[in-house]
């Protein structure tokens, strides 16, 4: 799962969680787009039905989704293991 964010808010991301448990993450850099990625989800979440995926941002302007997410809208992209298909939705 990958979420494009505002580059200025990158330092404000504190952690990612699945159902309240901390999860390692990574960054994606594409031309003019920065993303954070929930990585290795199949390992941490073998049965994803009903799971909560959350990100935590430091209090301040970037804590507002309209400021944190790229262009004011939070898009979530679900990548396949080979990164060749990626349904996306706005949350």
pLDDT (tens digit, 9 = 90+) per residue, 32-61?
Answer: 999 999 988 888 888 888 899 999 999 999
**Residue of 42, 55, 64 lying closest to 3 (CA atoms):** 55
What is the per-residue pLDDT across 65-89, written as a single tens digit (0 to 9) for each? 999 999 999 999 988 777 777 788 8
CA 47/CA 29 separation, integer angstroms: 29
CA 23/CA 14 separation, integer angstroms: 11
Confidence of residue 25 (pLDDT cuts 50, 70, 90): very high
Domain that holds residue 70: 2-90
Q: What's the pLDDT at 67?
A: 98
Q: How many domains does the chain have?
A: 1
CA distances from 23 to 30, 46, 75 (A): 23, 14, 20
CA 18/CA 38 separation, integer angstroms: 9
């Amino acid at each position: 799962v990958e979420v494009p964010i505002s580059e200025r808010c990158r330092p404000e991301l504190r952690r990612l969680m699945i159902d309240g448990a901390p999860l390692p993450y990574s960054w994606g850099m594409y031309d003019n787009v920065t993303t954070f990625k929930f990585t290795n989800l199949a390992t941490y979440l073998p049965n994803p039905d009903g799971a909560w995926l959350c990100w935590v941002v430091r209090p301040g302007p970037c804590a507002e989704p309209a400021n944190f997410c790229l262009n004011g809208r939070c898009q979530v992209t679900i990548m396949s293991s080979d990164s060749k298909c990626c349904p996306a939705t706005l949350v």
